[in-house]
Structures are given as structure tokens and as C-alpha cells.
Structure 1
Amino acid sequence: MSLNTATLTITPEILALIAELDEFKGAWRALGTLAPERLSALRRVATIESIGSSTRIEGSRLTDSEVADLLGRLEIKKFDTRDEQEVAGYAEAMETIFAHADAIELTENHIRQLHCDLLRYSAKDERHRGEYKTTHNHVSAFDAEGREIGVVFETATPFETPRRMAELVSWTRDALEENALHPILIAALFTVVFLEIHPFQDGNGRLSRVLTTLLLLRSGYAYVPFSSLESVIEQSKEGYYLALRATQTTIRKDAPDWQPWVVYFLRALQKQKQRLEAKIQRERILIESLPDLSVQILELAKAHGHLSIGQLLHLTGANRNTIKKHLRMLVKDHHLVQHGKGKGTWYGRG
């Protein structure tokens, strides 16, 4: 399949949005002044939001606090409700992406494996984990009692699905390798076509968001795990579905209308970036409010890797009790981590 991208008009708004995202992508490396503990906290909050939002978009009822509680006991590997099963599977799939994105190329085998991971704990999905659909799964509307009242959108047939997935993956890999489009636009088109195919019996929405994250990470947008795109989508769910349908109904025509979805996708990425910027700014204000000696200790810890109280006495010229007081506060506020006890104690950035 060769997607007809000639009908995608690169408007001034699209150019401006891409430039804004790329500027932040480049600036992200300079944010290493944040303590690793602070970055870890940002990522944990974003992960909880992403898991909660992505599963709620598909009908889960778990709140973010309930998701956080569940993540604290993932080692149990036993989940009673479908909501819990979906949250546990999504959490493991996302952690796989965060940890190994560089090694996970976009292939059909990897997509199937991620689908298996996503539904690992879903007992009712055991038969079709990692397998393309064998029956129609059109997107339908339901009434308050859960009765289907009509088909909203017709997806690819089970017969068409293997061919169309092979073509979509091939087009995406070629487009990325040849720089045929900006990688964010390639991710946008992959996502909307993937959802139009709806290749699996269940889990397509959640898997599309996992794959979006994978494509962004592999294209160098390393900040993505620290701010939840799924949360942005959940809070603009009506616009999300309107943009999807506006583009999806044209994909099989000679002149697809990519504009509605691409603009929505870029604006969602912009919102994700803006939320992270706001969080980083709050962290910077917190750092700037620290006493001069605390800031000096943080800078020395960053430069040396780890420091003992004896080293800090020599490097700062401050007295022992003052240094201990500042270290206690820095550890308490997660700017530094204390290692060991007694004479062997040392402090580092994480």
C-alpha cells in the first residue's frame, strides 16, 4: 500500500506545530539539571495518567488513584475484574516500550507481541491474543443499556486485514527510512490507518496509543514518557472521535482527507508538551527557591557523581552541621539520594 499523502496539505499551522514540538525535543537534553528522582516522579505520574486514561477511553471505570494502587501490586499477577486486567496489561506493554523502544522495530511480529502483552491478563481475550481478527468488529453505537443501536464505522474485513496490515507496516518503515514525511506526520498517518483497519478483535484503541508512543520514542521524542498523551485524548475525547471519523471515512477513497486527524493529533502533542513544560517550570521554581549552599551541593553532586560529607567540607568550606542540615533537606525533597550509613554514607543524584 502506498498512502496517498499528496492530499495532505502542509498548512502554516501544521508547520508551526511541528516546529514547536521539534524545538522542545531539542531542548529536552538541557533539562538534565532536574534531579533524577524528580524525573522519575514525573514519569510515574505520567504513566499512571496514561494507563488510567487509555483504559477509560475504552470503557474502564478505574480512577488514577485506583490505577496507582494496582501498579503497586503488579507482582501479584492475579486480577479479578476486567478493568484491573486491562490496566495491568497496558502497564506492562508501556513499560516494555519505555525500556526497549530502541530495540523494538515496527514489524508485524512486534505489533502482535505487544497485543499479547496488552491482553496478557484478560481471560476472555485468551483465544485471540496476538492474532488478527476472524470476525467483523465494526465500531458501533450503544444505548444506555448496552444494546447496539447502529454501526458508526465499518472497519476492514477479516479477509482484508492481513494484507492491509502488511502494507501499512511496509509503508511506515519505508517512509521513515526515506524521510518521505516528517516522522510526526508518519506516526499520525500510521495511527489513523491502523484504527481504520482495526486489525484485532479487541484492544485496538489501547494498542494504537502504545504504538504511537513507540514511533515517537524511536524518532527521538525522548520526553514522551514524562507527560501523558492519553490524558490529553481522554479530556478531548469528542474531538478525538470526530477527527478520527472525518479522516477514516475517506481513507479508501482516491483523495483521502488527512487534515482533520493530523491537525487534532498535532494539537494533542502540543498540549502534551505544554503540560510537561508547565511541570518543568514548577520544578525550576522549586530549585531556584533553594538556598545557595543547597544549589552548590546539587551542582557538585552532578559533577562528581557521588559525594561524602568529608568531600563537601573540603569543596564548600561550610561547617559539618550546616552541610548535614542541607543534605537532610535535599534528601527529604528527593533532590538527592542517601546511600549507606555511618562513615560510609555518600550522596548522589539518583
Structure 2
Amino acid sequence: MLFPTPALDDLDRKVLDEIEQMRADLRYQVRQVAVKWTEGLRKYLTADAVAASNSIEGFRVSTVDVVDLMEGERDVELSEDNRDETLAYQHMMTYIQTLHDAEDFSFSKGLLNALHWMLQGHRHTASRPAGQWRRGPVYVTDPRDPSIAAYTGPDAEDVPGLMDELVNWLAEDNGTHPLIKAAMAHLHLVSIHPWSDGNGRMSRSVQTLLIAREGVLAPEFSSIEAWLGRPGNTWEYYRQLNDRGSRYQPDQDVSNWIKFNLTAYHQQAQTVRNRLDRTRSVLGLLTDFVTDEGLDERLVAALHEVAMTGKVRRLRYEHAEGLSVQQAQRDLRELTSAGILVSVGRTRARSYIEGPRFPEPPLTAARTPTSLIDPYRA
């Protein structure tokens, strides 16, 4: 048995309408920005989702470091565990994103286990198999006292039947709004807890997959994982799951879970919209700056990265502008000599941050915080 999908009340429907309108507006706004800038934004949003979802499980890697790993940087100062988990999750997320418009797509137990192997294959052991249902009990322990089981998953012998039911539910068109269905899929999967490890990240990823399959926005704009990874939201996320009980009890009202997810969708759409607005503002200011300084317009890419993320590395700039290694190095040396950037670190680990002559207006535009509206309190 799975959790019944609750009916929406009037306020839920109002919030859902606002989310749909914001997502439609975002789709239009993204089309008004040059492809190379939206590609950079997509990469950042993917990295932010990976960093946030891993942080919920205790793997701490900054979004900028995830971007560097995605670019192929080798000299990123991370523990081996953090590096392995980041790359595994990023590879799985990249594959999920490619499925958003796959024509012959279908949900299956094989697909879910294959995704799990991509996530956990590097940790596969006989006692904790990756890409296979767990063979014994599974517990989510209380972070304050590991001797206490905050949640105990269903018996292992019940998992295959529950996953059959879940896959059939995912495949059917039951008229549920895609965003609501995605939220319910997350709850179903994390509650069944079918694997020995990685259940939280798998559940969040399957939610992302369903949102991406909706097709309104590119998949990189669709995830709420970055929102879930913010400390206050992570606490509320755990509270919502704890409210479901310490054991699998699907015969209950989960309306609050739906409201929590609608809030997440709404505020993540606000966050992406705000970042897109900042990107456009910063680009305009930096374009004016390089023109006034008599610099090549391609240097805007390096300066934009510094303004938005705090630093740029040669490989990131090289890929963004399609340059040779030598040309990228010359450009960054030119900006450093002019005092616009400052070089930190050595050789392959070198990065560039703002220098004394970096223009202040784009930094202000990039770093001025914005407020988020709680749609249920607005």
C-alpha cells in the first residue's frame, strides 16, 4: 500500500497556480538570455543541487567546488569521500537530466536500480549491495543518538512488492498534477527505503526526474534539492518526514507534505528568477566596464564568474569562451596585471578573485541579498 494522494484545498490550488505562472515566465525569460550565459547558469544550478543534496547526508562540498569538478579540475581540495560522493551524484544527475525528453521513456525497477548503482556503485559490498534491493532491515538513526531509530523501513521481504506498486503508480496517468505526483513519489520512495544506503538522494532525484519530464523548464531549473539543502529547510524536511511516524504507515493524511513541497517549488522558482535577474544585471554592468576599459568583450565571462561566485579558474574560463590554454592564461594575466583580478594559489590549483580595480557596481548587484516570499503567508 502507498500513501493516498491528498486533495488540494483552495489555498494549495492558488499556490500551485502561482508556481505554474512563475515557471512559465522563467521559461520565457531564459529564452531572452544568450545561450552561453544560460548554459553557465544551468551548470551552476546542477552543481548547487548536487552540493545541497549531498550536504543533507553529511557530505560537505561547496557549489563552486562542484562546478570545478564538473569542469574536470583535478586540484580541488576535498576529502576522498566528498569527491567520490560528489562525482557519483553528479554523474547520476546528469543522466537524469538527459531523460527529460527521452521519447521511449518508462519507469521500471531496473531503471531505479541502475540509477542507484550510479550513485552507490563505488560503495558496493556483499552486505550493502548497490543497484539491488536491501536484504535486511534499514534504520534512519537519530542524529543526536545513533542508538535510537528515528525511522525503521518496511521488512525487506515486503520491498519487492511495494516497489512493484510504486513503479506501476509512476507509470500510470491518474490525472495528478505533475508537481504533486513528483512530491508524492519522493515520499513513497523515501518511506519504502528499498536500498541499504542512498535512499534520501535517490528519492530527491526521482522527484527531480518527474519534474523534468513535465517539460515546462529545462531539468536544471526544475530541482528543489538546492532549496532542501538550506539549513532551516533541511530541518523542516526532516520534521516533515518524522511526522509520518517511526515506521511505514501509509494509511494517513499527508496534506502537510504537499504544502511543504509547494512552498519549496514556489521559493525555488523565486530563487532561480532572482539569480537570472542578477546575471543579466551583472552582465550589463561588466559589458559597460570592459568597453570603457578598452578590453576584449570575452573577458566579461571571467569577470562575471568572479562577481557571481567569488572566483574563476582558468579551465572554467577556457571552456566558457572556447579558448586555448594559452589564450585563457594570457587573458587572466592581463586582468591580473591591470589589478582587476588577483591570483591566489599556485600552478594547477590557481584561481583568481576580485582585485582592487574590480568594478564595484557589478559586485553590489551580484551580492545584494533578496527576500523570498512564503506563499502560504503572503
- Contact 2:138 2:153 survives alignment (8 Å): yes
- Contact 1:192 1:248 survives alignment (8 Å): no
Structure-2 residue corresponding to 1:241: 238
**Partner residue of 2:200 out of 192, 196, 205:** 205
Per-residue deviation at 1:209? 1.5
Structure-1 residue corresponding to 2:307: none
Structure-1 residue corresponding to 2:92: 93
Q: What 5-or-longer segments of structure 2 have no aligned partner? A: 305-319, 325-378
Per-residue deviation at 1:60? 1.1
- SS of 2:45's equivalent in the other structure is helix
Structural mapping, 1:49-88, within 5 Å: 49-73=48-72, 81-88=80-87
Aligned residues: 297
Structure-2 residue corresponding to 1:148: 146
After TM superposition, the score normalised by the length of structure 1 is 0.75
Per-residue deviation at 1:189? 1.0
- Contact 2:107 2:167 survives alignment (8 Å): yes
Per-residue deviation at 1:251? 6.3
- SS of 2:261's equivalent in the other structure is helix
Structure-2 residue corresponding to 1:318: none
Q: Distance in 2 between matches of 1:220 and 1:251?
A: 32
Structural mapping, 1:71-220, within 5 Å: 71-73=70-72, 81-103=80-102, 104-122=105-123, 128-143=129-144, 148-174=146-172, 177-179=173-175, 181-220=176-215
Identity, in percent, stands at 25
Q: Distance in 2 between matches of 1:63 and 1:339?
A: 26
Structure-1 residue corresponding to 2:4: 4
- SS of 1:119's equivalent in the other structure is helix
Per-residue deviation at 1:66? 3.6
Per-residue deviation at 1:29? 3.4
After TM superposition, the score normalised by the length of structure 2 is 0.70
State the structure with more CA Rg: 1
Q: CA RMSD in A?
A: 3.2
Per-residue deviation at 1:227? 6.8
Deviation per residue, 1:97-135 (Å, 9 max, x gap): 112332243221111110011113335589511100101
- Contact 1:141 1:151 survives alignment (8 Å): yes
- Contact 1:88 1:121 survives alignment (8 Å): no
The one-letter amino acid of 1:96's match is: Y
Task: Sort the Cα spacing of 1:4 and 1:229 in 2 relative to 1 into closer, same or farther, 3 A.
Answer: closer
- SS of 2:134's equivalent in the other structure is coil
- Contact 2:99 2:213 survives alignment (8 Å): no
- Contact 1:46 1:227 survives alignment (8 Å): no
**Partner residue of 1:285 out of 278, 281, 288:** 281
Structural mapping, 1:306-317, within 5 Å: none
- Contact 1:107 1:169 survives alignment (8 Å): yes
- Contact 1:142 1:149 survives alignment (8 Å): no
Deviation per residue, 1:142-192 (Å, 9 max, x gap): 44xxx6221111211111101001101211221xx232x111111111111
The one-letter amino acid of 2:161's match is: R
Deviation per residue, 1:310-329 (Å, 9 max, x gap): xxxxxxxxxxxx9xx79x32
Task: Sort the Cα spacing of 1:178 and 1:4 in 2 relative to 1 into closer, same or farther, 3 A.
Answer: closer
- SS of 1:200's equivalent in the other structure is coil
Structural mapping, 1:336-347, within 5 Å: none
